[in-house]
Every structure is written in structure tokens, then in C-alpha cells.
């Protein structure tokens, strides 16, 4: 694994003239337009990078973007990978580990999620404060990669409390309404049943999706501070549940995208 990570990093450095990103950003389903705010220096297709998986889901472009956002050097995943696509957990988090080895100091993650909290509405932003892993495995199962992190990483603060507080300050300063809450990650690709929504809400989640948690576990393992935000694209509350198609999710994400872009851009500006 270390060798494959190094091969990917060597290729990327060669193609980007050793560009040094300080922050990594992962853009979820329908949330790729943040790239329009980036002064792009380099753009690599996932398929050209050694050992990189390739996005198979609509709404995931499949490019690794290097440039400046808010005057800060960033590397952006325009599209991510999911366990339900048939990838192993090692493949799902491979890009996160690559970004760490390229030198990022903090990780910013976005996703589309179903809203379980009764006060949530579609296109709301939810800053994630904690998570529940309902996936059948995680990226740390197996032999530990000591070069990346410890065998038993502490998960008492998977999402940086400082970054959460800064994000809330950014939201207030810019007149953005944001929620906070717990994100649950389920395997997918099917959406949950009504009984499953009730169960996931009962165990403490405010939103549910099919991503993010593996990437966060890998980041915490490597001592990377994480900030994550969900865009609520459908409602999973009794009386508000309706049949959902991908088109509805993409439309709800697109409506929220300007606010999410503003939040992440201004948050990155505040980093040292």
C-alpha cells in the first residue's frame, strides 16, 4: 500500500511541478461547482493517476484539481468513491492518503444527505459534529500502516471542534443559516426504508448518507483535522418521506451549492 501511494504521489508531483497544497477538499454528489471559484493551476483525470479508482456515479466528475481557493493552495477531489460502487475501503480512502502525503494540513469534506431531524428542510447545510458508522467495515481493518498512523487512533473528536466553531462564525458573518448534527453513513446504494430511517434517527443521527465516514476515519488515523458539511437533499421524517430520484437530489444540491461554496471558501481563508 505504501508503495502504491508513493507511486501515485510521484506521478502527481511530476504532472503538477511539485505543487504544494495546504488543504484538501472532497466534493460530494452534485457539489462540483466549487471548482469554478478555484484559480486552477493543474487538473488531472483520476483514470490517469496510478492506482486511483475512477468515479462511476453521476454527479461525480472524476478530476483532481490543484489551484488556489481564497488565496490558499488546495487540492480538490471533484467526485469521490463509495463502498457501494464495489470498491474496497482501501480504495475509497486512497485519495485521502495521497493528499496527506502530498502535504495537506486539513481536510474539508462535503456530501449530499437525507435529513432525519424534523426541523431540517431540503437544501439546508448541516455542519457535521460527529458520526455513526453503519458500514460493514472500515479502512483500518487489517494490518496497520504504521507509516500513516497508530494502530488504535482516538475518535473522540473526528471533526475538529475549532473548525466547526469557525464555520459557525463564518455562517453568522455572512448571514447563512446552517444546522449542526450527527451524520450516519450507510452502505447504499438503495435509500433506506421508513423503518430504517426511524432506527437511524433513534440511535442519534440527524442526517444519513453513503460516504464521508471512511474518509474521515482515514484522515483521523493520519492526524488530519477534518471539517465536513452535509447538504440536505431529501427529507426522511415521517409525513415528509417521498420517492426520491437522483434528479431531485442533484437539484437540491445545486440550490445549496452557492452557500456551501461560500462557507468552505471563507473557512479556508481563516486558516493559518
Where do the structural domains in the chain lie, given as residue ranges? 1-270
Where the chain has pLDDT below 70, the residues are 56-61
Query: In the chain, at which residue ranges do the beta strands (DSSP E only) sit?
Result: 23-27, 39-45, 63-69, 72-78, 106-115, 125-133, 178-185, 207-209, 226-235
Average per-residue pLDDT for the chain: 94
pLDDT in tens, 50-105: 999 887 665 546 899 999 998 999 999 998 899 999 999 999 999 999 999 999 99
Three-state DSSP at 96 gives helix
114 in Cβ contact with 196 (< 8 Å): no
How distant, in Å, are the alpha carbons of 3, 4, 11, 22 from that of 50?
A: 11, 8, 7, 22
pTM: 0.95
Helix (H) or strand (E) holding 94: helix 89-102
The pair phi, psi for residue 264, each rounded to 5°, is -70, -40
Q: What CATH architecture does domain 1-270 belong to?
A: 3-Layer(aba) Sandwich (3.40)
Kindly tell me the sign of the dihedral angle through the C-alpha atoms of 225, 56, 48, 149: positive
Amino acid at each position: 500500500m505504501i508503495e502504491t501511494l508513493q507511486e501515485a504521489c510521484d506521478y502527481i508531483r511530476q504532472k503538477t511541478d511539485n505543487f504544494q497544497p495546504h488543504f484538501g477538499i472532497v466534493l460530494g454528489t452534485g457539489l462540483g461547482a466549487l471548482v469554478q471559484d478555484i484559480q486552477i493551476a493543474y487538473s488531472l483525470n483520476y483514470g490517469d493517476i496510478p492506482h486511483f479508482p475512477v468515479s462511476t456515479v453521476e454527479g461525480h466528475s472524476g478530476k483532481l484539481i490543484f489551484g488556489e481557493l481564497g488565496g490558499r493552495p488546495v487540492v480538490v477531489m471533484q467526485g469521490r468513491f463509495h463502498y457501494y460502487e464495489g470498491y474496497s475501503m482501501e480504495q475509497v480512502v486512497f485519495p485521502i492518503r495521497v493528499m496527506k502525503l502530498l502535504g495537506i494540513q486539513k481536510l474539508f469534506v462535503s456530501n449530499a444527505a437525507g435529513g432525519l431531524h424534523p426541523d431540517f428542510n431540503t437544501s439546508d447545510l448541516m455542519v457535521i459534529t460527529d458520526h455513526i458508522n453503519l458500514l460493514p467495515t472500515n479502512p483500518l481493518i487489517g494490518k496497520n500502516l504504521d507509516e500513516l498512523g497508530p494502530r488504535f487512533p482516538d475518535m473522540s473528536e473526528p471533526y475538529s471542534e475549532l473548525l466547526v466553531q469557525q464555520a459557525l462564525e463564518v455562517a453568522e458573518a455572512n448571514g447563512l443559516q446552517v444546522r449542526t448534527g450527527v451524520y450516519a453513513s450507510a452502505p447504499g446504494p438503495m435509500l433506506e426504508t421508513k423503518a430504517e430511517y426511524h432506527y437511524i434517527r433513534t440511535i442519534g443521527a440527524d442526517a444519513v448518507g453513503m460516504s464521508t465516514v471512511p474518509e474521515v476515519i482515514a484522515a483521523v488515523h493520519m492526524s488530519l483535522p477534518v471539517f465536513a458539511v452535509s447538504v440536505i437533499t431529501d427529507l426522511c421524517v415521517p409525513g415528509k418521506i417521498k420517492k426520491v430520484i437522483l434528479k431531485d437530489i442533484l437539484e437540491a444540491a445545486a440550490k445549496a451549492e452557492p452557500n456551501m461554496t461560500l462557507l468552505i471558501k471563507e473557512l479556508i481563508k481563516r486558516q493559518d
